[in-house]
Amino acid sequence: MAPMAERDDLEVLRHSTAHVMAQAVCDLWPGAKYAIGPPIEDGFYYDFELPEQLTPEDLPRIEARMREIVEAEQPFNHEEVPRQEALERFADQPYKLEIIEGVEEAEGAGGDTVSVYRNDGWQDLCLGPHVESTGKLGAFKLLSVAGAYWRGDERRQQLQRVYGTAWPTEEELADYLHRREEAEKRDHRKVGPALDLFSFPDELGAGLAVWHPKGGRLVRQLGDFVREIHVARGYELVTTPHVARSGLWETSGHLEKYAGNMYPPMHDEAGDYYVKPMNCPFHVLIYRSRTRSYRDLPLRLSELGTVYRHEKAGTLHGLLRIRGLSMDDAHIFCTPDQLIDEVLAVFDLTLEVFRVFGFEEPRIELSTKPGEAIGDEAMWARATEALRGALDKSGMAYDVAEGEGAFYGPKVDFHFKDAIGRSWQLTTVQCDFALPERFELEFMGEDNQRHRPVMIHRAILGSLERFIAILIEHHAGAFPMWLAPEQVRVIPIATRHDGYAEKVADRLREAGLRVEVDESRETLGKKVRAAQLDKVPYALVVGDKEEEAGTVAVRDRAGTERRGVSLEEFVERAVGEAESKALESVLE
Ligand SMILES: [Zn+2]
Ligand SMILES: [Zn+2]
């Protein structure tokens, strides 16, 4: 977490609102113990230990008390309090005492004195800053109550977490609440199972999904697209195993810097093995499998590699945050001279890929060296300069996020907005001088001398799982034709039309379309409705008239209907729509 002083105005506003919320809770529940209350994306939370269980009905009461505190316009006063005095002041607040005793810098308890903010009679340990006074809060709303463990540790005290949101104006608050409502309707954790795409069987363990046949079709479409576009751009497809001995992860630095995200090891007589959290070291070994010359470079190795990351159980979130994920991963090995052009080519590919999904105008961020890092300063400086150079050459605007890079190198991230205005971090491009050093990679230069190549790590979509979750929410389950697991459903009006329906379906399958026939004995109205609920792009209704004339009645998902369309005309249009990866229906 960045120190408070570096946070932007919105974070200050949200943290100040959290502060007032905690004050209100303490007023309403005397004896309340308050833990921590940081700003988060779109809002804030505060954790409490309270004598009773909060319910959503309590939120308006807390809000009402907050409004009284806002009206009182209490200034936030900063004090630097000697450690001993702070221990006395917070004597009845065990979580604050733990923070003071733990000398936690991020919470304002890092020095000889402790940073305390006080307004009226209420005080909190905190680095600040806050808005000037409680009268300067913006528009806010409390959203929900949830359980949370102190320090995120399930062996420790169970606390109650109150979530809220805060914005500078009422209008921005209303927009956000609308987006939130839309997001809830589109939640992939509901839409995905409703469309029979995937599930998370308990037997597998948390964060591990299985794809059902319809989800499998989606994964295949996306996977084929990814592989084809990479081959067309000069990448080689490679395949590597899911497990490797501990020595590999020692050399790569993963055991040193990334062990917290790895599954525990397995053992046999040869030693320890880890399932892979990343594909990089495997691709490095492919590079190193023979002598490379400058003529072999750039070497672009690509793999839809499934990796396993032991994310904390509390952070798992459907397909968005998962423990087994398939990255559209690639590693580019090149000479230092080729670096900027290779990075630029990755930027180009990114824009090309996302244009297909209708995602344009990315927000771009350059992230620099984090606290936990391998490699020396000079390496970091060279890598960061290369990315900066490529960004400047590309002419695209970008922000700098200090300290947000990967442990082995700085990175450039692309964020795209979805249909309801949410921003998603998708593409990552990382520049790495450290792994080639650690694995002693070499190539023979034109000068007949050995040189060290540079390595670019990059994923465009990120992972298929996460990207599919985003697509589900972006399209509210109504995928464009080329991705739709079921593209066409043929609906016979009566049993006597089953034969013709099958004939129509066969013709569509022959044309390469994904088709099903609804031969259930439901009414026509129900069958049409079912196709709509399943978000099938086209339902073809066939009865006597259609059979006689060799036509179909076409209904799209929006309910638009066209009768008497010749089967061949429909085939041609539907295939055209799928092959062109059109985002909208081409049928008028
Ligand atoms: Zn504070
Ligand atoms: Zn990598």
Nearest to 63 by CA among 172, 178, 184, 165: 165
Residue 303 burial class via C-beta count within 10 angstroms: exposed 0-12, middle 13-18, buried 19 and up: buried
**Strand pairing partners for 425?**
415
For residue 160, report the distance from its CA to the centre of ligand 1, in Å: 19
Distance 51 CA to ligand 1 centre (A): 23
Nearest ligand to the C-alpha of residue 307?
2
Instruction: Give the C-alpha separation, 418 to 415, whole Å.
Output: 10
Centre of ligand 1 from the C-alpha of residue 18, in Å: 8
* CA 261 to ligand 2 centroid distance, Å: 15
| Predicted pLDDT of residue 127 | 83
pLDDT of residue 4: 38
| Residue 330 CA to ligand 2 centre (angstroms) | 7
Instruction: Give the ligand whose atoms come closest to the C-alpha of residue 276.
Output: 2
In sign, the C-alpha dihedral spanning 181, 324, 487, 461 is positive
Of the bound ligands, which one is closest to the alpha carbon of residue 428?
2
Cα separation, 218 vs 268, whole angstroms = 38
Pairing between β-strand 423-432 and β-strand 443-444 as defined by DSSP bridges? unpaired
Ligand nearest to the CA of 122: 1
**17 CA to centre of ligand 1 in angstroms:** 9
Ligand 1 centroid, distance to 510 Cα (angstroms): 65
297, 443 Cβ separation under 8 angstroms: yes
Pairing of strands 39-40, 33-34: unpaired
Q: What is the pLDDT along the chain (588 residues), one digit of tens a residue?
A: 333 334 588 999 999 999 999 999 999 999 999 999 988 988 999 999 999 999 999 999 999 999 999 999 999 999 999 988 999 999 999 999 998 888 777 777 777 888 999 988 899 988 888 999 999 999 999 999 999 999 888 899 999 999 999 999 999 999 999 989 999 999 999 999 999 999 999 999 999 999 999 999 999 999 999 999 999 999 999 999 999 999 999 999 999 989 999 999 999 998 999 999 999 999 999 999 999 999 999 999 999 989 999 999 889 999 999 999 999 999 999 999 999 999 999 999 999 999 999 999 999 999 999 888 888 888 889 889 999 999 999 999 999 999 988 888 899 999 999 998 889 999 999 999 889 999 999 999 999 999 999 999 999 999 999 999 999 999 999 999 999 999 999 999 999 999 999 999 999 999 999 999 999 999 999 999 999 999 999 999 999 999 999 999 999 998 899 999 999 999 999 999 999 999 988 775
Residue 7 CA to ligand 1 center (angstroms) comes to 13
Q: How far is the CA of 103 from the centre of ligand 1 (A)?
A: 17
Distance from the alpha carbon of residue 436 to the mean position of ligand 2, in angstroms: 12
Distance from the CA of 332 to the center of ligand 2, in angstroms? 9
CA gap 368, 372 in Å, rounded: 12
**In angstroms, what is the span from residue 133 Cα to ligand 1's centroid?**
12
Q: What is the pLDDT of residue 7?
A: 53
- How far, in Å, is the centroid of ligand 2 from the Cα of 306? 12
User: What b/e sequence results for 258-295 when a residue is b if at least 16 CB atoms lie within 10 Å of its CB, and e otherwise?
Assistant: beebbbebeeeeeeebbbbbbbbbbbbebbeeeebebe
CA of 416 from ligand 2 middle (Å) equals 22
Q: Nearest ligand to the C-alpha of residue 283? A: 2
* CA atoms of 221 and 479, how far apart (whole Å): 12
> Ligand 1: distance of its center to the CA of 15 in Å?
6
User: What's the DSSP call for residue 29?
Assistant: S
CA atoms within 13 A on the CB side of 77: 9
CA of 526 to the centre of ligand 2 (A): 50
**What is the whole-number distance in angstroms between the Cα of residue 268 and the centre of ligand 2?**
27
pLDDT score of 406: 85
Q: What is the DSSP track for 199-232?
A: E--GGG-TT--EE-HHHHHHHHHHHHHHHHHHHH
Distance 287 CA to ligand 2 centre (A): 13
Q: Which residues contact 290 (CB under 8 A, 6 or more apart)?
A: none
Q: Which ligand is nearest to the CA of 435?
A: 2
Listed residues: CB within 5 A of ion ligand 2: 280, 457
In 347-500, which ranges are E strands?
363-367, 399-401, 411-417, 423-432, 443-444, 450-451, 454-463, 488-492
Nearest by Cα to 311 from 297, 322, 301: 322
What's the gap in Å between 356 CA and the centre of ligand 2? Answer: 25
Tokens encoding 62: 């807390």
Spacing, Cα 272 to ligand 2 middle (Å): 22
* Spacing, Cα 359 to ligand 2 middle (Å): 24
> How many helices and strands, by DSSP H and E, does the chain display?
18, 28
> Quick one: 580 exposed, middle or buried, by C-beta within 10 A (0-12, 13-18, 19+)?
exposed
Q: What is the DSSP string of 1-13?
A: ---GGG--HHHHH
**212 close to 198: Cβ distance less than 8 angstroms:** yes
Ligand nearest to the CA of 278: 2
How far apart are the CA of 290 and the centre of ligand 2, in A? Answer: 20
Say if CB 229 and CB 351 are below 8 A apart.
no
**How many other C-beta atoms are found inside a 10 Å radius of the C-beta of residue 221?**
18
